[in-house]
Amino acid sequence: MPVHNAEIAAVFTEMADLLDLQQANPFRIRAYRNAARMVGEMGREVRAMVERGEDLTELPGIGDDLAGKMREIVDSGTCRALQKLQGELPPAITELLHVPGLGPKRVRMLWHELEVQTPEQVARAARDGRIRDLPGFGARTEANILQAIEAHLSKARRIKLATAAQYAGSLVTWLSATRGVSRVEVAGSYRRCRETVGDLDILVIAAADSPVMARFVAYDEVAEVLSQGSTRASVVLKSGLQVDLRVVDEASYGAALCYFTGSKAHNIALRRQAQELGLKLNEYGVFRGRERIAGADEESVYRALGLPFIAPELREDRGEIAAARAGRLPPLVQLAALRGDLHAHTTATDGHHTLEQMALAAKALGLSYLAITEHSRRLAMARGLDPRRLAEQCDEIDRLNPKLEGIVLLKGIEVDILEDGSLDLPDASLARLDLVIGAVHSRFDLPRVRQTERILRAMDNPYFTLLAHPTGRVIESREPYDVDMLRVIRHARQRGCFLELNAHPERLDLLDSHCIMAKEEGVLVAINSDAHAREDLAHLRLGIGQARRGWLAAADVLNTRPLPELRRLLAGARQ
């Protein structure tokens, strides 16, 4: 069975969690967590590196021990060290760690003090009022835990878009190599660039004698075949992801792609549009009576309905059909439009590559500038910069830039926004920088009014440029903090500063709805990778998908500007 990066990352994450529950060496725990993050975010498959005999210890933070475990996982699908840890702890205990708000420390206390090991047992303890009396918990925490447990138990399993891409890419490659297959495309929420994906819908055009169905169900990663016919089949992969395959005729491929891409609400609106024109729309085409008048490609489907093509990312029934009728669909931003990246880290803090290595990697992607924005001193675990070290890095950037060709490094900082809205570094340090990114990294639990005022006050700092990951959410791990985003966006407009769309696969923050709000208010958005390694710069493509879902055109994005224009905009944000 081919092993994807997601599975290697999952093994290392579980090992870190189990070691944390055992209160093992913190440095050992951190090594596994860092390895899980790095592997999970890599653009290259570790499996392919192993097959080519590449040296895994050249990867950031990977020594001989971790490299050996990675090769073991690729070869066997598991790891003996993980199996040993699993045998030392209750089998259900790690599921609790998947519940937002229940980290290893709390799980350990619930387990030892209340003898609960499963989400259901924790929910019962919360309903009985037994959690509130534990040290560091209380009635409010108990209520929050119960709410999180109930949401966890009721939520259908979904996986992050970046993880789904690993499975989708391998499947497309596998199916494309089948005799008689001329086209393969993944539809559904994956094609719409939803931040999480429930399953994969794959459409193929294949000759009548193609063995594509047999090849699909014989795929190494298939754990269960739910159904199999001549034109459709459903399987469940060993990862738990369901995949549905449909073989469609070339004459109806566009209609089928439109139908299976969705969303359901968009499809209903399209059918209503067809009915108003006296037509019938289904997965086989657009029909006038019995005559099929469109369907071979999606453009023909929309054209038959009197509409221009609507990009998949917009198909959520949020006004896209009315905008199409009125000729107001935006020319959505594309990856090639990005001129640079305004949020990246190096070995000076918690990054894995040097200034020069990050610059050359950005250049290789076709970017012309890269902002280096290390953490500030409050993030001690990330070795955040104090004023002295920040000045030293600025000097280093000034020495390096004349030696670089085709890429310019900008001087910046990702400075912590403190609870009172002040910034973690003095204005004298910020004055030398090209840009200042403000970020909330603590006190996510502040009430809505206080959280909002905190951010507004930070934005009023004369050197503030950009609000990083504005809602603070981590997908499926941490809910957004409670903040009035409309006030924040309008204040950014008045203040003349900008918002970030953080493209990290765990964040994708701004939300698409907030991108729409920023566009309507005339606030520019920067699509940034938040790269901590060279490979992380590839996150930008995920940010583009989120930006397109938010109706953003290139003109709405700060870092589509060439460097001279960008410098003017950054300077203009200073007060």
- CATH value at residue 555: 3.20.20.140
The tens digit of pLDDT for each residue in 140-181 reads 888 988 888 887 776 667 889 999 999 999 999 999 999 999
Position of tokens 């209903």?
Answer: 268
CA distance 469 to 493: 17
CA distance 487 to 482: 12
Mean pLDDT is highest, among 7-21, 92-106, 150-164, 192-206, for: 192-206
238, part of any domain? yes
Cβ neighbour number for residue 26 with a 10 Å cutoff: 10
Sign of CA dihedral 29, 31, 32, 38: positive
Torsion of the alpha carbons at 268, 271, 277 and 283, rounded to the nearest 10 = 160
215, part of any domain? yes
The tens digit of pLDDT for each residue in 373-401 reads 999 999 877 789 999 999 999 999 999 99
Pairing of strands 199-206, 181-186: antiparallel
**Both 230 and 96 in a single domain?**
no
Contact 514, 483 (CB under 8 A): no
- What's the pLDDT band for 355 if we cut at 50, 70, 90? very high
**Both 351 and 419 in a single domain?**
yes
The tens digit of pLDDT for each residue in 308-337 reads 999 999 999 898 999 999 999 999 999 999
> H-helix or E-strand containing 313?
none
Percent of the chain at pLDDT above 70?
99
**Both 418 and 559 in a single domain?**
yes
Contact 126, 134 (CB under 8 A): no
**Both 296 and 389 in a single domain?**
no
Q: For position 154, what pLDDT does the model report? A: 66
**Both 416 and 519 in a single domain?**
yes
- CATH value at residue 257: 3.30.210.10
**Both 559 and 541 in a single domain?**
yes
Q: For position 176, what pLDDT does the model report? A: 97
Residue where one domain finishes, among candidates 247, 273, 306: 247
Q: For position 407, what pLDDT does the model report? A: 98
**Both 303 and 373 in a single domain?**
no
- CATH value at residue 199: 3.30.460.10
> H-helix or E-strand containing 224?
strand 222-228
SS3 letters across 345-412:
CCCCCCCCCCHHHHHHHHHHCCCCEEEEEEEECCCHHHCCECHHHHHHHHHHHHHHHHHCCCCEEEEE
CA distance 518 to 512: 10
Q: Which residues contact 110 (CB under 8 A, 6 or more apart)?
A: 96, 102, 116, 122, 125, 131, 134
Residue where one domain finishes, among candidates 325, 346, 363: 325
Predicted confidence (pLDDT) at residue 414 exceeds the cutoff of 60: yes
**Both 264 and 349 in a single domain?**
no
> H-helix or E-strand containing 432?
none
Span 117-145, average pLDDT: 87
- What's the pLDDT band for 343 if we cut at 50, 70, 90? very high
30, part of any domain? yes
Q: For position 124, what pLDDT does the model report? A: 86
330, part of any domain? no
Residue where one domain finishes, among candidates 325, 358, 382: 325
The chain-wide mean pLDDT, for the chain, equals 93
- What's the pLDDT band for 552 if we cut at 50, 70, 90? very high
Q: For position 152, what pLDDT does the model report? A: 74
**Both 476 and 339 in a single domain?**
yes
CA distance 284 to 256: 6
- What's the pLDDT band for 192 if we cut at 50, 70, 90? very high
533, part of any domain? yes
* Cis amide prior to 176 (ω within 30 degrees): no
Q: How far apart are the first and last CA of the chain?
A: 58
Q: For position 91, what pLDDT does the model report? A: 64
262, part of any domain? yes
**Both 356 and 276 in a single domain?**
no
- Closest to 490 (Cα-Cα) out of 523, 462, 516, 460: 523
- Closest to 97 (Cα-Cα) out of 111, 79, 78: 111
Span 282-292, average pLDDT: 95
Torsion of the alpha carbons at 345, 349, 353 and 356, rounded to the nearest 10 = 70
CA distance 283 to 303: 16
The tens digit of pLDDT for each residue in 440-474 reads 999 999 999 999 999 999 999 999 999 999 999 99
Predicted confidence (pLDDT) at residue 530 exceeds the cutoff of 80: yes
Q: Find the domain containing 100 and state its range.
A: 5-154
CA distance 424 to 439: 10
**Both 393 and 538 in a single domain?**
yes
- What's the pLDDT band for 104 if we cut at 50, 70, 90? confident
529, part of any domain? yes
- The residue ranking higher by pLDDT, 370 or 42, is 370
- What's the pLDDT band for 37 if we cut at 50, 70, 90? confident
Q: For position 44, what pLDDT does the model report? A: 82
Structural domains in the chain (count): 4
CA distance 561 to 367: 11
**Both 560 and 450 in a single domain?**
yes
390, part of any domain? yes
Position of tokens 């997601």?
Answer: 6
- What's the pLDDT band for 300 if we cut at 50, 70, 90? very high
Span 128-137, average pLDDT: 89
CA distance 152 to 102: 12
* Token duo for residue 267: 């499809």
